[in-house]
Amino acid sequence: MLAEDSANKIVESLHELNVQRIVEIPKVGPFDFSISNVVIYMWVSAFLVFIFFFVVARRLRKEPDGLQTWAEILLNFATGHLTGQIGEKGKKYYYLILTLFCYIMLTNLIGLIPKPIPLKGYTPTANINVTFGLAMVVFFVTQYQGFSRHGVRGYMGSWLAPPGLPKALAPVLSAILFLVHFMGEFFKPLSLSVRLFGNTIAGHLIILVMLGLMLQYASAIVIIPAGLFVVIMLLFEVFVAFIQAYIFSILSVVYIESAIYAGH
Amino acid sequence: MAFDPETAARLAAGIGMGLATIGPGIGIGLLTGRTSEAIARQPEASGDIRTAFIIGLALAEALALYAFVIAIILLFVA
């Protein structure tokens, strides 16, 4: 009985990770276009990012006030490494990288705010579909850059063995290197998405399991250490939310740079 | 006592996750140590060093997260 009960309390607290449909839309083939709480929170964070930068852009001044200072700090932080890594050619990626950084950070932070049950709280980045979608954007930008700058021949050619090798060795090495590079291109979005998803969901799982333990064993011996742990973990999660957004944007820059300067 | 598949999956998830944290733990430890050494030696280059540190951190951490995803699949899907 006790074991069953404890499982129930902990499983109940994990229900925050469930996707709940809010507006039902009939399925079209295998695709489900229903509006769920994931989509709602994605819209909320996208809207907040848009409003923030819209307001800041409308009132740009020579002497920045508080809001503009924050926006400039964000811009410098998210894209400061961009010109350092890519150089002048990277200028047009300011928008993409800044958007990715702000959007991911805001979705992570929104998930950390405790919400009452009717709001159906959810962290969009704790869903692998969302993170994989973000990573696919970076993947397509990278491949487009590679193919449009170097042509199919030049870009694929940069995956082969470098010139100047002995004639007998070159074809074998080229075949191996081509396979490695080809798979590597597909593993890049995979590792990007899994990293963000794993970090977010791992923190949430730990916090929720601790909360479930506190609800189940309502005694001081459990509640005090578990409560302290939850508080410390929440603070750490704020840090993780920030650092993961930074890692996502900086790795996107590294991948895009590798396509722009393919073969160097 | 024979294992039923569910028990085996749970055991595999727990043990696998524990084993998978060893490598990235060692890696992140080495990385942090070397980074602090490098910053102590050349404080003026700390910005570049920190960027390289964070990229390395992300790559090392991803290994444990692959195992974490496998563990989740074992627990909830298998």
Which residues of chain B make contact with A243, given a CB cutoff of 8 A? 54
Helix axes A170-216, A2-13, angle to 10 degrees: 120
Mean pLDDT, residues A165-183 taken together: 84
Which residues of chain B make contact with A198, given a CB cutoff of 8 A? 62, 65-66, 68-69
Domain count of the fold of chain B: 1
Distance from C-alpha of A226 to C-alpha of B40, rounded to nearest angstrom: 37
When scoring B21, B51, B77 by the number of chain A Cβ atoms within 10 A, the one with the most, hence best to mutate, is B51
Which residues of chain A make contact with B54, given a CB cutoff of 8 A? 243, 246-247, 250
Cβ contact B54–A199 (<8 Å) = no
Point out the residue among B51, B58, B72 whose CB comes nearest to the CB of A195: B58
Asked if the C-beta of B68 comes within 8 angstroms of chain A's C-beta atoms, the answer is yes
Mean pLDDT, residues A155-164 taken together: 78
Which residues of chain B make contact with A254, given a CB cutoff of 8 A? 55
Task: For A199, name the nearest residue in chain B, comparing CA atoms only.
Answer: B65
Mean pLDDT, residues A128-148 taken together: 90
State the CATH number of the domain containing residue B48.
Answer: 1.20.20.10
- Counting residues of chain B whose pLDDT is more than 70, the rounded percentage is 96
Q: What is the pLDDT of residue A169?
A: 80
**Domain ranges (residues) in chain A:** 2-260
Q: What is the pLDDT of residue A5?
A: 56
- Counting residues of chain A whose pLDDT is more than 90, the rounded percentage is 13
Q: What is the pLDDT of residue B74?
A: 86
How far is B74 from chain A, CA to nearest CA, in Å? 15
Q: What is the pLDDT of residue A33?
A: 80
Cβ contact B65–A194 (<8 Å) = yes
Cβ contact A250–B62 (<8 Å) = no
pLDDT tens for residues B32-55? 999 999 999 999 988 888 888 888
| Predicted confidence band of residue A135 (pLDDT cuts 50, 70, 90) | very high
Cβ contact B54–A254 (<8 Å) = no
| Predicted confidence band of residue A1 (pLDDT cuts 50, 70, 90) | very low
Which residues of chain A make contact with B6, given a CB cutoff of 8 A? none
Asked if the C-beta of A224 comes within 8 angstroms of chain B's C-beta atoms, the answer is no
Q: Which of B61, B25, B13, B18 is nearest to A194 (CA)?
A: B61
Considering only residues A264 and A120, tell me which one the structure prediction assigns the higher pLDDT: A120
ipTM of the complex: 0.76
Query: Residue A139, class by beta-carbon neighbours within 10 Å (0-12 exposed, 13-18 middle, 19+ buried)?
Result: buried
Write a three-state SS string for A31-81.
Answer: ECCCEEHHHHHHHHHHHHHHHHHHHHHHCCCCCCCHHHHHHHHHHHHHHHH
Q: What is the pLDDT of residue A6?
A: 53
pLDDT tens for residues A64-122? 788 888 888 888 877 777 766 677 777 778 888 888 999 999 999 988 888 777 777 78
Task: For A200, name the nearest residue in chain B, comparing CA atoms only.
Answer: B65
